[in-house]
Chain A
């Protein structure tokens, strides 16, 4: 079974803090993705990566950065957290083409006060 894990299920941070969300997959998948999910807005792609040290902007990259130093790990960074970044953050991975099946981690519910 594909396993995607995320570092925290719930996280509370203060405005202006630097926040790290980590995602690890154990299936040697090439592709990894970060989404945020908000009521009424659905899943929105923040960043994705097709290979180590490679990153591409998704639909809403502003205010975020990513790091992929190892194939199995993809980190999302909020340089200076703001209240409008309160959301559910979901990591996913896939093999082969970016259009292949994506497997999701359990999600991190981030609240920025």
Chain B
């Protein structure tokens, strides 16, 4: 089992719809969770961090964390073509020296 897993996609959503991305992780004691956005040919940029169970909202983005089920998700509301990118989930893995481990990313395509 990979330490951090994401569906590679592509996830195709119509403009204005909600995009829902999921990420599962293996280390039950992980404490820090991050979502990055990466446009083609560019470097990852941080969208959100979340540390506690529940929802965290920032503009059109909502991160949801469920430590008991070991998953973190990202919702993108009112999806825009500019949201088309690969979204990377990152989780600190205490068993791996507490470094961040990245999932393989989910490619999102927002169609006008």
Contact = CB atoms under 8 A, between A and B. Distances in A.
Interface string A37-75: 000111101001000000010000000000000000000
Contact of B43 (A56, A99, A101, A105): A105
A109 to B, nearest CB: 8
> What's the interface size class on B, roughly?
20 to 34
B98 A98 contact: yes
B60 interface: no
A101 B103 CA distance: 15
Interface in B75-112: 88, 90, 92-94, 97-100, 102-105
A101 B98 contact: no
Given A107-B42, A107-B43, A101 B105 contact: no
B44 interface: yes
A101 B46 contact: yes
Contact of B49 (A48, A56, A101, A106): A101
Interface string B44-59: 1110010000000000
Given A104-B43, A106-B42, A99 B103 contact: no
B99 A45 contact: yes
Contacts of A84: none
Contacts, number: 51
Nearest to A43: B102
Interface of B: 31-32, 34, 41-46, 49, 88, 90, 92-94, 97-100, 102-105
The 8 A-B residue pairs with the shortest CB-CB distance in the complex, in nearest-first order: A99-B92, A104-B43, A42-B104, A43-B102, A99-B98, A107-B43, A98-B99, A99-B32
30 contacts: A40-B104, A42-B102, A42-B103, A42-B104, A43-B44, A45-B99, A48-B99, A90-B43, A90-B44, A94-B100, A97-B32, A97-B92, A97-B98, A98-B98, A98-B99, A99-B31, A99-B92, A99-B93, A99-B94, A99-B98, A99-B99, A100-B32, A101-B46, A102-B90, A104-B43, A104-B44, A104-B45, A105-B43, A106-B43, A107-B43
Given A42-B104, A43-B102, A106-B42, 20 more contacts: A41-B104, A42-B88, A43-B44, A43-B88, A45-B99, A48-B99, A56-B97, A90-B44, A94-B100, A97-B32, A98-B98, A98-B99, A99-B92, A99-B93, A100-B32, A100-B92, A102-B34, A102-B46, A104-B43, A104-B45
